[in-house]
Amino acid sequence: MLKNTYKYVSSFEKLLTVKFNHNFYKDNLLKGLAFFADPETNGLLASLGILLRPTENGFTLVSKSDPKFESITYAGALDLVFFFKIPNKYFLNITDIPYTNNQKFIFKNKQDVSNEKLHSNFYVEPDDIKVTEDGGLLGQISLTINSKNQFYGSEAAASVKKELMYSIHFNARQVVFRYNFISSSQGTDFDSFYVTDEQNTFKLKNFKTRTLANGQSVSYILIEEKTLVSESYSKKLYFKKEDDFLSYFSIFLPYPTTNNISYDAKNDTFYSDVFVNI
């Protein structure tokens, strides 16, 4: 039986894409952000038939192919302003930025002919951030495109447009792992316990005591070497007791989570706390 075959050709072309990256995540993608354009930019996009579309870790602008935009009437640079919000309530815990709310990230491009990071250094740094009276973590992206009439206002604009790729990169925060041991019995002697890895290549025994905010006393041990927080960790640690040949005691220590990261101003250190019942 003969079947009709239809070929669909999209009349839209991508102008630019902005991607957000964060090395906390295994796939390096910062997802879940909310984007919108300011009113003036919205009007400009509508007049040119440009659509703002969210992507997995950012947004893209797509333009409807239309010969009328070859006209010199549409020539000249286009100044676009976009805003975004970061809803992740643990973003400050995992990201190497000042540890305070009410921050506004300011990003802009320097040219519009090739791919570019929207900040000067490899990762976002304090120079890219301003204090804001608005609550939460917000951002502004200012983009100037079409400075050479490569998208609109020239015959060259009628050919296939070269998509611009802009990127923003956040770095994970460095923390010290702190394992807090909560004993069900009073006066547990920690002298015979230690923390080690799968191969028993070391033994950490320098347990100390501290009082939690709820008044409970716990014994704890620090993994002194700072670690980049991550969505997952490969290194496994165990809480063990010196072998007395009659019994064997070993507890796998869970990995830290993002909700238990705190800043100690006195030591200028971020601690990632894990609480273990023994």
* 87 lies in some domain: yes
- What are the tens digits of pLDDT across the range 101-132? 889 999 999 999 999 999 999 999 999 999 98
Element (H, E) at 223: strand 217-228
Tell me what percent of the residues of the chain surpass a pLDDT of 70.
Answer: 90
- Domain end point (choices 170, 197, 226): 170
Helix (H, G, I), strand (E, B) or coil at 104: strand
d(CA 273, CA 220): 10
Does 186 lie in the same domain as 157?
Answer: no
Residue 139 in domain: yes
Where a domain ends, among 140, 170, 200? 170
> What is the pLDDT, as a whole number, of residue 192?
85
- pLDDT tens, residue by residue, 87-101: 999 999 999 999 998
10 Å CB burial of residue 234 (0-12, 13-18, 19+) is: exposed
- Residue 6 within a domain: no
Longest dimension (CA), the chain: 89
Cα–Cα distance, 171 to 176 (Å, whole number): 16
Q: How far is CA 37 from CA 17, 59, 140, 182, in A?
A: 14, 11, 9, 50
Do 255 and 134 belong to one domain? no
Measured on CA atoms in the order 58, 170, 137, 254, is the torsion positive or negative? positive
Position 242 scores a pLDDT of 80
User: CA angle 30-36-41, nearest 5°?
Assistant: 130
Domain ranges, residue 65: 12-170
Assigned domain for 2 exists = no
Shared-domain flag, residues 206 and 261: yes
